[in-house]
Amino acid sequence: MTRIDDTFARLKVEGKKAFVSYVMAGDPNYEKSLEIVKGLPAAGVDIIELGLPFTDPMADGSTIQLAGQRALEAGQTLEKTLEMVRSFRETDDTTPIVMMGYYNPIYSRGVDKFLQDAKDVGIDGLIIVDLPPEEDEELCIPAQKAGLNFIRLATPTTDEKRLPTVLRNTSGFVYYVSITGITGAAEAQAADVAPEVARIKSDTDLPVIVGFGVKTPETAEAIAGVADGTVVGSAIVQKIADDAPVADVLSFVKSLAEGAHRA
Query: Which residues here bind other proteins, judged by CB under 8 A?
Result: 53-62, 65, 72, 77-79, 102-109, 129-135, 152-159, 162, 166, 177, 180-182, 185
CB 44 within 8 A of CB 69: no
- The minimum distance between CB 103 and other proteins, in angstroms, equals 5
| Distance between CA atoms of residues 115 and 95, nearest Å | 19
- The minimum distance between CB 21 and other proteins, in angstroms, equals 21
- The minimum distance between CB 255 and other proteins, in angstroms, equals 28
CB 227 within 8 A of CB 193: yes
Q: Residue 45 or residue 64: which is nearer to other proteins going by CB?
A: 64
- The minimum distance between CB 76 and other proteins, in angstroms, equals 9
Q: Residue 193 or residue 263: which is nearer to other proteins going by CB?
A: 193
Q: Residue 47 or residue 166: which is nearer to other proteins going by CB?
A: 166
- Identity of the amino acid at 250: L
Directed axis angle between helix 30-39 and helix 246-262, to 10°?
A: 30
The H or E element that residue 208 is part of is strand 208-211
Catalytic residues: 49, 60
Q: Residue 8 or residue 103: which is nearer to other proteins going by CB?
A: 103
The contacts found for 111-114 with CB under 8 angstroms, 24 or more apart, are: 111/138, 111/139, 111/142, 112/142, 114/78
The CA dihedral of 69, 22, 116, 149, to the nearest 10 degrees, is -140
- The minimum distance between CB 248 and other proteins, in angstroms, equals 28
Those residues whose C-beta lies under 8 Å from the C-beta of residue 231, and which sit 6 or more positions away, are 20, 21, 22, 49, 175, 209, 210, 211, 212, 214
Q: Residue 57 or residue 207: which is nearer to other proteins going by CB?
A: 57
